[in-house]
Amino acid sequence: IDNDEMETFREKYLSMHPYDQALFFQEQQENIRQRIYTYLSPNETADFMEHIELEDIKPFITEMDPRFAAMVIGEMATDDAVDILNELEKEIVISLLTMMEKKDADEIKELLHYEEKTAGSIMTTEFVAVYQTKTVKDTMQFLKAEAPDAETIYYLYVIDEEKHLVGVVSLRDLIVAEGDVRIADLMNKNVFAVSVGKDQEDVSQVMRDYDFLALPVVDFQHHLLGIITFDDILDVMDEEASDDYSKLAGVTDTDRPQDGAFAAAKKRLPWLIILSFLGMLTASLINQFENTLSEVAVLAIFIPLIAGMSGNTGTQSLAVAVRGLATGSFSQQGKLKLILREATTGLITGIVCGAVITGVVYLWQSDIFLGLLVGLSIMTTLIVATLAGTLVPVFMHKFNIDPAVASGPFITTINDIISILIYFGLATTFMQFLK
């Protein structure tokens, strides 16, 4: 009976796509998962394990029999294996590596050395390399044997005797070519490669610009070390987009819906505490204008309006600048142009919003001077806040700080302070006109 059950399970389970297998697997209780491990081969387990999110994989690896876990990881693409091992404690990694086949373990150990977020850390070593002296026919024969294990067979990297990368042949070219053509005559010698220490974000940009399905990674002597495939780039893109997004919202580390409340609070509190103190600074600034405020009490009611508008416009210009700095490589001239444009944009939005608000305040409070004061403050504030939203990230970029660190809340609070100074400064100067 047990054997029958195993057969039925295997038939149904293995007919699903590995991604669906992973979804099903993650919904099961531990006792069911333990049975799944016994029903499947390490290779079959590795296939769907590669589709589980990295943050969730640790408990599954640690609940497996360590020998089985080592085999599963050994069967994975080396880059995925390395990603998983990076999630585990050092002692577990060492014990898993000793239980693995030596060849797999050696490949993985080499990749584990590369710094996080570099080309080396996301590349895989399962590529197809061919010698330039071979013919198309030989190469097709060779491919037949290599295809099942390689991460991609759609680009073949051509190497010389010392394993220097000398060219690339696409499978498409290989298929169209006659059998007796030599690889050296078919290959594209202008092969694009990235160095192993290159930042993953730059690698992702190159692959997207050039529409590469895969990109070879070389050391400083141009030896071929590995390849990066497009699926790795999708992960990098997701990561970077979430990262920029979280930073704009003022969450220090990427905050995931799956995290617990304490983990979430821990990630948010640093910002909130810093912002509390900046807020206290704003409060003490207003306190300096105590006299103005007590004489014209109505001023207080427009504080949130002015502070809010400056924060909002600052975040808008911040988003454009951060996004622009992150994706395009702004030239020096491009940055100046952006600053000028933001100044003009600030002027236009300032004049429009200032006029609207002057009108509304005048109609509401029947006090043209108060209307003009609030409107003029909004106008000045919008110009300054828009510029601040651009200047802060541009300067950070100049000093090699990731401009995305200048998050929305930070710019908002800076602009709060600027707007309060402008508002109460103007109010104090023109106090004789206010009732």
Instruction: Rule CB under 8 A: choose which of 290, 332, 333, 435 binds its own copies.
Output: 290
Enumerate the H helices of 289-407 as residue ranges.
290-295, 303-327, 332-365, 368-398
Among residue numbers 186 through 245, which ones bind its own copies (CB under 8 A)? 190, 192, 208-211, 213, 230-231, 233-234, 237-238, 241-242, 244-245
Q: Given the complex with its own copies, which of 118 and 412 has the nearer CB atom?
A: 412
Which of the ranges 2-10, 66-74, 91-99, 142-150 carries the binding residues for its own copies, by CB under 8 A?
A: 142-150
Separation in Å, CA 360 to CA 80, 84, 225, 379, 423 = 60, 59, 67, 14, 17
Among residue numbers 44 through 103, which ones bind its own copies (CB under 8 A)? 51
Which of the ranges 5-13, 106-114, 193-201, 254-262 carries the binding residues for its own copies, by CB under 8 A?
A: 254-262
Q: How far is the CB of 94 from its own copies (least distance, A)?
A: 30
Q: How far is the CB of 190 from its own copies (least distance, A)?
A: 7
Distance of CA 4 to the CA centre of its chain: 46
Q: Which secondary structure element, helix H or strand E, spans residue 41, and what is its range?
A: none
* CA 176/CA 260 separation, integer angstroms: 55
Nearest to 377 by CA among 366, 385, 388: 385
Size of the site for its own copies (CB under 8 A): 114
Q: Is residue 384 near its own copies by the rule CB under 8 A?
A: no
Enumerate the H helices of 51-195 as residue ranges.
54-63, 66-75, 78-85, 90-99, 102-112, 119-122, 136-146, 171-176, 183-186
Binding mask 147-166 for its own copies (x = CB under 8 A): xx----xx------------
Query: Dihedral of CA 235/237/241/244: which sign?
Result: positive
Q: Is residue 425 near its own copies by the rule CB under 8 A?
A: no
Q: Is residue 308 near its own copies by the rule CB under 8 A?
A: yes
Q: Is residue 180 near its own copies by the rule CB under 8 A?
A: no
Q: Which residues face 155 on adjacent strands?
A: 170
Q: Is residue 172 near its own copies by the rule CB under 8 A?
A: yes
Q: How far is the CB of 233 from its own copies (least distance, A)?
A: 8
Q: Is residue 395 near its own copies by the rule CB under 8 A?
A: no
* CA 106/CA 60 separation, integer angstroms: 24
Q: Is residue 1 near its own copies by the rule CB under 8 A?
A: no
Residue with tokens 């502070």: 307
* CA 146/CA 153 separation, integer angstroms: 8
Which of the ranges 29-37, 68-76, 114-122, 409-417 carries the binding residues for its own copies, by CB under 8 A?
A: 409-417
Q: Is residue 344 near its own copies by the rule CB under 8 A?
A: yes
What would the two tokens of residue 250 be?
A: 């003022």
* CA 200/CA 120 separation, integer angstroms: 9
Which of the ranges 28-36, 37-45, 82-90, 313-321 carries the binding residues for its own copies, by CB under 8 A?
A: 313-321
Instruction: Rule CB under 8 A: choose which of 131, 330, 362, 369 binds its own copies.
Output: 330
